[in-house]
């Protein structure tokens, strides 16, 4: 098992040894909502370690559809170690710069990368290829 209780083959990159938390992209939030055992194991391990879970608001907007029926996602958002990060002016500027540099256009993915970089966190994702285009060095936990 990897650092966050995820089988090594599910990890696209090894998380840094002093990981304080993880950042979820929309795919990871959707996987949680679908009761993906890998995400549940990762969250259980993060809770044991007291690790922070970062949820960029842009990723949340892509994943949330029926909050009253998305109990797992709603539960994650209520946890004291979960931070929902708004896309504010400074982050929007950094997102735009990253999109220009990478010649890509997905605002939510770029916001996820900006949040993960700022916090020194790995990104939990179902789409590592798109995130690698934005930042080839960002640590990923692929689902």
Whether residue 28 is contained in a domain is answered as yes
Question: How many CA atoms lie less than 13 Å away from 75 in the CB half-sphere?
Answer: 9
Task: Quote the pLDDT of residue 9.
Answer: 40
Instruction: Give strand ranges (E) for the chain.
Output: 21-24, 52-56, 82-85, 122-125, 140-142
pLDDT tens digits along 59-117:
999 999 999 999 999 999 999 999 999 999 999 999 999 999 999 999 999 999 999 99
pTM confidence score: 0.86
pLDDT tens digits along 11-50:
433 444 455 899 999 999 999 999 999 999 999 999 999 9
* Domain with 135 in it: 19-142
Which residue shows structure tokens 């002016």? 89
Whether residue 6 is contained in a domain is answered as no
- What total of structural domains would you count in the chain? 1
């Amino acid at each position: 098992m990897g650092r966050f209780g995820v089988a090594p083959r599910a990890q696209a990159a090894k998380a840094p040894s002093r990981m304080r938390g993880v950042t979820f992209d929309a795919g990871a939030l959707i996987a949680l909502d679908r009761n993906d055992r890998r995400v549940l194991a990762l969250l259980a391990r993060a809770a044991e370690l007291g690790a922070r879970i970062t949820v960029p608001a842009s990723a949340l907007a892509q994943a949330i559809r029926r909050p009253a029926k998305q109990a797992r996602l709603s539960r994650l958002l209520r946890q004291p170690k979960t931070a929902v990060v708004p896309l504010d002016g400074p982050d929007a500027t950094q997102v735009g710069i990253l999109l220009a540099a990478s010649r890509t256009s997905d605002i939510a993915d770029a916001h996820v990368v900006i949040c993960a970089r700022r916090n020194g966190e790995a990104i939990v994702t179902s789409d590592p290829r798109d995130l690698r285009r934005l930042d080839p060095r960002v640590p990923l936990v692929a689902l």
